[in-house]
Amino acid sequence: MNTSKKLLSLAVAAAVLGLAVPALAEDVKIGILGDLTGPIESLAPPIVAGAQLAFDEVNAQGGILGGGKIIVSTGDSACDPSVAGPAADKLVNTDQVTAIVGAFCTGATIGAATAAGIPGGVVQISPSASAPALTTLDDKDLVFRTTPSDAFQGVKMAQLVLSKGIKDVALTYVNNDYGKGLADVFVATYTAGGGTVSANVAHEDGKADYRAELGQLSSGGSQNLVILAYASGSGKTILQQAIEGGEFTAFVGGDGMVGDDLTAGLPADAVNGKIIATRAGAYAGESADLYKKLATDAGQDPAATYAPQAYDAAFLLALAIEKNGSAKREGLSAALRDVATAPGEKILPGEWSKAVELIKAGTDIDYEGAGGPAEFDKAGDVDGIIVELAVEGGKFVEKGPIN
């Protein structure tokens, strides 16, 4: 055989062999950008665990994109836009993640998105960023959330307080997008329902002493204090100093206050039966029951604040990547809307292998998660359920949905 024929034979053989070799599985990097330090650090670990549970299930059920693994890169956004931006930049531009779960605080989510996520074309889903400011962010359809907006929570909180017969409150809020957004909605709904806000005082997070602010708050005469802040930050300090001062006898908090850190070390008679709060609640249905079993079997608390929403954010991103057919960022936003929106065959928590087979067959799917249907509106927001909690035995106990 001459040289040219030999080369032709080798080329043909190589081509045949190439066709016979299946495509290599593709690993996918996904970021978890969490507020691991800062004012909600006590809330962060269960949220991270909820997202990781979903990724672990994907890897255990055959993997993603033909058997690849989800590889998680983590970053700390510290509930601070100035920290979130560089942390997101590392995930987007150094780690080259396909998508991001997080951040957890609204300001950090917006900071991460504007600094790196949106310029990099990276889809983010926050499980807990609840301020209305996220709705109006010019995000190129890249920023979503699996928790309802505070435009909804603030209304439900006001309705809860009024239903308790509380006719007057003093209110203080942490001076950021979360605190101000929630406060504005609460005040508007509460006063429209006949309630009186005797004092409305913004405060800065991270101070050691809030006695001056408490003096302003108590001067209006109300003994009911609404604190819209964080359990590991100003919320805990204000609550402790208010109890020490004796100016207030009843307290109301939002979702940022719902953490075990809040009541640790405080007198039992000052907190038990004296604190109520609101947060996004779990959906009541088959999907919620499945998630509870999955979380419990994994040694996690299925009722942990925002853990169900984190699971949904992670599972949705995995489904969208599978639907998109690659680890590329392009097209992921549209794929996310496809897998989250009816009509389609229902996919519930834990049903990864079923979803993969349906996607391969070209069948539309519709994910219904731990937090309920993930029907994103034009702004990337979802409806949800807001529940009442009360402190009993030194811990928050969920009392049920606010109707």
Q: What is the pLDDT of residue 7?
A: 39
Q: What is the pLDDT of residue 24?
A: 63
Q: What is the pLDDT of residue 403?
A: 83
Q: What is the pTM of this model?
A: 0.86
Contact 80, 108 (CB under 8 A): yes
Neighbours of 90 (CB within 10 A): 15
Peptide bond into 103 cis (omega under 30): yes
3-class DSSP assignment, residue 312: helix
Query: What's the CA gap between 342 and 215, in Å, rounded?
Result: 52
Contact 255, 277 (CB under 8 A): yes
Query: What's the CA gap between 272 and 251, in Å, rounded?
Result: 11
Contact 380, 145 (CB under 8 A): yes
What are the residues facing 126 on neighbouring strands? 145
Query: What's the CA gap between 391 and 46, in Å, rounded?
Result: 19
Give me the tens of pLDDT residue by residue for the chain, a chain 403 residues long. Answer: 444 444 344 343 434 444 433 346 889 999 999 999 999 999 999 999 999 999 999 999 999 999 999 999 999 999 999 999 999 999 999 999 999 999 999 999 999 999 999 999 999 999 999 999 999 999 999 999 999 999 999 999 999 999 999 999 999 999 999 999 999 999 999 999 999 999 999 999 999 999 999 999 999 999 999 999 999 999 999 999 999 999 999 999 999 999 888 999 999 999 999 999 999 887 788 999 999 999 999 999 998 999 999 999 999 999 999 999 999 999 999 999 999 999 999 999 999 999 999 999 999 999 999 988 899 999 999 988 899 999 999 999 999 999 8
Q: What is the pLDDT of residue 218?
A: 98
Q: DSSP readout, 323-388?
A: HHTSS-STTHHHHHHHHHSSSSEEE-TT-HHHHHHHHHTT--EEEEETTEE----TTS-----EEE
> Residue 359, Cα to own-chain centre: how many angstroms?
26
Residues in the chain: 403
Q: What is the pLDDT of residue 372?
A: 87
